[in-house]
């Protein structure tokens, strides 16, 4: 082929290839658009449905550290009664100092899961501190309690076994149970007769595990751990309790529901979070029997396939457990605050759910009313959230108040005053 023809031919091929590539790219874009176009419409409809049902969640922006008194964007300062900051540790100087020190001594990130190269001396120390706190054999850390609960059932139980779960258990327990092949039983919230029925049925399986939240976060009630423990012995079952809302809070020294019911060291599995009373940053754990924790380290998927907690978080956790070992001052103040607030609210004529936690559910029953009430309180400088169906049962709308050791008596009085004023304005109180 002569040189010029050859060039022309090559050019033609190049053009053809280029044109074909453009055609493919365009087609891909068209397909991509078409594919997203269909689901986009569906997603928009879903969002519209959520909005129509009045369930669309927006986020209020806080521009100060988390504390009893916070700054909220476009508002003056407000008193915070809706944080899980039960011990007031979210911005505690000692934890901030520890976190900073660990940044210098151990760096920023671990860039690894635990079993590859993500375990430091700090991680091992924190695991031992947690075990010491709850009176258990050993502890395994996770990125969050959502992961602890997500990764606890599947490694331990098979289709030959049974999980018997409280109907109000946290979403992460429900998801964890879904990932496991064990037979599922559900008993009505804290209903021991129903639990016993389910335990009888579950005699058909090889092993049985009863699982419950320690504190149920919408009512503030405790799981009856003493009775659960008795039934577990009678029907040969293991006991697991999620202490997320109870650890640091419940019990004279804040050791949680096992302290309150005098069964410390008897629960086989305890899960919990560093994201609530214990500093409020991030991190979860499972603590309990040695063989259980050992096997979780071998097989628990959120532990094996997710990053190790950063040293700053871990060292702040160690500092926090050291504080807990030194004094019950924060627990004392929290319990005092809870009792003071609860008694004054009852005296004022409000209806509340029985509580032994840091949660006081003030019942308004009507969904609209709960939203109006919370909005008026925010104008009064009190930040609380009104909950209604489907977060709580139909006709059970409420304001959930979360007390903290960080609240001063003056702040509690201001909140109580605002509740009474708003209660009168909205016709809840006579
Ligand atoms: C908050 C909470 C969790 C999740 O804890 P994270 O550490 O935030 O993932 C799990 N269980 C219960 C009962 C909780 O209240």
For the segment 218-244, what is each residue's pLDDT rounded down to a tens digit? 999 999 999 999 999 999 999 999 999
Q: Mean pLDDT over all residues of the chain?
A: 94
| Rounded Cα–Cα distance for residues 169 and 189 (Å) | 8
Q: Which of 172, 214, 274 to mutate to test the pocket of ligand 1 (most atoms within 8 A of CB)?
A: 172
Q: For a pocket test of ligand 1, which of 169, 170, 280 has the largest count of ligand atoms closer than 8 A to its C-beta?
A: 170
Is the per-residue pLDDT at 30 higher than 80? no
Q: With bands split at pLDDT 50, 70 and 90, how would you rate the model's confidence at 75?
A: confident
Please state which CATH number belongs to domain 93-326: 3.40.640.10
pLDDT tens digits for range 124-166: 999 999 999 999 999 999 999 999 999 999 999 999 999 999 9
Give me the pLDDT at residue 111, please. Answer: 98
Residue spans of the domains in the chain: they are 69-82+328-425, 93-326
pLDDT tens per residue across span 336-369: 999 999 999 999 999 999 999 999 999 999 999 9
Residue 259 has pLDDT above 80, yes or no: yes
Residue 165, beta-bridge partner list: 186, 211
Which residues, in sequence order, are bridge partners of residue 140?
286
Say yes or no to pLDDT of 305 above 90: yes
Q: Tell me, which fold does domain 69-82+328-425 have in CATH? A: 3.90.1150
Closest approach atom of ligand 1 to CA 217: 15
What's the confidence (pLDDT) of residue 74?
Answer: 82
Active site residue 407: no
pLDDT digits 0-9 by tens, 381-398: 999 999 999 899 999 999
pLDDT of residue 76: 84
Identical fold between 69-82+328-425 and 93-326: no
Mean pLDDT, rounded, for 68-84: 94
């Amino acid at each position: 082929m002569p040189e010029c023809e050859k060039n022309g031919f090559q050019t033609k091929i190049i053009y053809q290839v280029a044109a074909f590539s453009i055609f493919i790219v365009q087609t891909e874009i068209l397909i991509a658009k078409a594919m997203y176009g269909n689901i986009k419409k569906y997603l928009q409809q879903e969002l519209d449905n959520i909005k129509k049902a009045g369930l669309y969640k927006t986020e209020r922006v806080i521009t100060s550290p988390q504390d009893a008194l916070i700054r909220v964007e476009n508002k003056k300062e407000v008193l915070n009664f809706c944080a899980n900051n039960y011990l007031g540790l979210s911005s505690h100087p000692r934890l901030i100092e520890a976190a900073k020190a660990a940044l210098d001594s151990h760096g920023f990130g671990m860039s690894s899961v635990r079993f590859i190269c993500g375990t430091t001396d700090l991680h091992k120390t924190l695991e031992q501190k947690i075990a010491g706190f709850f009176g258990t054999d050993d502890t395994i850390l996770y990125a969050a309690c959502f992961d602890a609960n997500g990764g606890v059932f599947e490694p331990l139980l098979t289709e030959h076994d049974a999980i018997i779960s409280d109907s109000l258990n946290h979403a992460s327990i429900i998801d964890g149970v879904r990932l496991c092949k064990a037979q599922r039983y559900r008993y009505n919230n804290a209903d021991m007769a129903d639990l016993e029925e389910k335990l009888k049925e579950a005699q058909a399986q090889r092993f049985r595990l009863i699982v419950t939240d320690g504190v149920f976060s919408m009512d503030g009630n405790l799981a009856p751990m003493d009775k659960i423990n008795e039934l577990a012995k009678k029907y040969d079952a293991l006991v697991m309790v999620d202490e997320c809302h109870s650890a640091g809070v419940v019990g004279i020294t804040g050791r949680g529901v096992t302290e309150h019911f005098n069964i410390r060291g008897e629960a086989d599995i305890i899960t919990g979070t560093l994201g609530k009373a214990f500093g409020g940053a991030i991190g979860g754990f499972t603590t309990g029997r040695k063989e259980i924790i050992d096997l979780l380290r071998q097989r628990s998927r959120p532990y094996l396939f997710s990053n190790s907690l950063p040293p700053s978080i871990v060292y702040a956790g160690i500092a926090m457990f050291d504080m807990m070992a030194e004094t019950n001052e924060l627990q004392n103040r929290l319990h005092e605050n809870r009792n003071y607030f609860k008694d004054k609210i009852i005296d004022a004529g409000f209806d509340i759910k029985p509580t032994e936690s840091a949660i006081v559910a003030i019942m308004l029953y009507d969904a609209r009313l709960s939203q109006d009430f919370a909005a008026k309180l925010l104008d009064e400088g009190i930040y609380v959230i009104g909950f209604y169906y489907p977060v709580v049962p139909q006709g059970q709308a409420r304001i959930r108040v979360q007390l903290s050791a960080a609240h001063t008596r003056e702040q509690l009085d201001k909140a109580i005053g605002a509740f009474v004023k708003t209660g009168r304005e909205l016709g809840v109180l006579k």
